[in-house]
């Protein structure tokens, strides 16, 4: 544990996504607050969505940015555990 993940492991996690672990999500939100960055989305138990995205027709760029940061945070945590 604590090593650099292999390219294969990184690809696999990137292609499938890491697990949504509640403790990691809470830590991610604290990290975002520490940077004074707005979440611009609400966790619905599965993903971050903005109010305008709740009907499924619109895409909010700020919420999409939060989802990207969350995916990177979540996947890196999963990679740290696997390698």
The ranges assigned to domains in the chain are 7-82
Name which of 77, 80, 64, 60 is nearest 20 in CA terms. Answer: 77
Lowest mean pLDDT among 17-26, 59-68, 73-82: 73-82
What local confidence, expressed as pLDDT, does residue 66 receive? 97
Share of the chain residues as helix, strand and coil, in percent rounded to the nearest 5:
60, 5, 35
Question: How confident is residue 2, by pLDDT bands cut at 50, 70 and 90?
Answer: low
What local confidence, expressed as pLDDT, does residue 38 receive? 93
pTM (two decimals): 0.83
What percent of the chain has a predicted confidence (pLDDT) above 70? 96
Question: How confident is residue 28, by pLDDT bands cut at 50, 70 and 90?
Answer: very high
């Amino acid at each position: 544990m604590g090593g650099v993940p292999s390219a294969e492991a990184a690809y696999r996690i990137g292609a499938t996504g890491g697990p949504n672990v509640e403790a990691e999500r809470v830590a991610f939100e604290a990290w975002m607050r520490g940077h004074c960055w707005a979440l611009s989305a609400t966790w619905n138990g599965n993903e971050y969505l903005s109010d305008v995205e709740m009907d499924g027709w619109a895409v909010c760029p700020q919420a999409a940015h939060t989802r990207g940061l969350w995916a990177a945070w979540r996947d890196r945590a999963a990679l740290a555990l696997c390698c």
